[in-house]
Amino acid sequence: MLNPVVHAIDQQLTEALLPLHVEDMTRQYWEQGQFLALEHLMPTQLVQEFMQEVERVRPQINRNFIPGHKKGGSVSFYLLQKSAPAILAFYHHQGWMNLLSQIAGVPLLLCPEEDPHSCALYFYTEPGDHIGYHYDTSYYKGERFTVLLGLRDQSSSRLVCRLHTKEPDREVKELSLRTEAGTYIFFNGDKLHHAVTPLGAAEERIVLTLQYVTNPSMGMAQRWFSNMKDAVGYFGWSALFRKPNR
Ligand SMILES: [Fe+2]
């Protein structure tokens, strides 16, 4: 039985799906090399609910810095699991997962609970916060898909994307996007080359990220590499040793 707050969020999330045109979204996704960005897709009321939880976990941000590659703050799945029921309800929402599965043309599953990235917040709050060009590489045996939901963007930062880098017969297309509150982005992590440009002074940008996979198993070597990357680049060493709540 869902608690009443989560139940209300769940209903709002279901209603938010009603006006969406799955066929249009699917066409756009494939035309853009498995990438889709829709401005202000998520209703303001839901974004506000999520932001209340963001403010609750903000004191627990883990700041990270990899010279030449990234600088910023993160809050992992483990913390959200304890303190952010509305955000978790979004990650787990079957209707939204079905939508993504339809668009991607393959059934999508939640990441294992051991993955601190599965549902996480990225905070760009200090001047120069950024991330360099990368793919959201899958260390899983299946493919990995990323959702980004803009929660706040009072910044000059841009999500810059290079589409079609792995399609030899297509010209690379560059995009530069704001991720304002409610903007919803979905892509295949191994296909989209992307970065976030540096934050200016007195600016702030907060993004929720969700990860889905087609096969949640992972080889031991891949698990080790993935853990190291997360500890150094995102959530700190404590996240490595923190067992998720069951
Ligand atoms: Fe990324």
What are the respective helix, strand and coil percentages of the chain, to the nearest 5?
35, 30, 35
Helices 94-104 and 22-31: angle between axes, nearest 10 degrees: 50
d(CA 134, CA 166): 13
If you average pLDDT over residues 230-246, what whole number do you get?
Answer: 64
Output the CA torsion 38→39→41→43 (10° steps): 170
C-beta separation of 36 from 25 below 8 A: yes
CA of 195 to the centre of ligand 1 (A): 7
Read off the pLDDT of residues 75-131 as tens digits, 9 standing for 90 and up. Answer: 999 999 999 999 999 999 999 999 999 999 999 999 998 888 899 999 999 999 999
Identify the residue whose tokens are 């030899």: 168
Q: How far is CA 135 from the centre of its chain?
A: 13
- Domain 33-241 fold is Jelly Rolls (2.60.120)
Read off the pLDDT of residues 126-153 as tens digits, 9 standing for 90 and up. Answer: 999 999 999 999 888 899 999 999 999 9
Identify the residue whose tokens are 């979905």: 186
| CA proximity to 132, closest of 211, 175, 68, 209 | 68
Q: Which residue has the higher pLDDT, 192 or 222?
A: 192
Read off the pLDDT of residues 13-46 as tens digits, 9 standing for 90 and up. Answer: 999 999 999 999 999 999 999 999 999 999 999 9
Q: How far is CA 158 from the centre of its chain?
A: 15
Q: What is the pLDDT of residue 245?
A: 43
pLDDT band at 1 (very low <50, low <70, confident <90, very high): low
CA of 101 to the centre of ligand 1 (A): 20
CA of 134 to the centre of ligand 1 (A): 6
d(CA 230, CA 219): 16
The gap between the terminal CA atoms of the chain, to the nearest Å, is 16
C-beta separation of 104 from 188 below 8 A: yes
CA of 208 to the centre of ligand 1 (A): 12
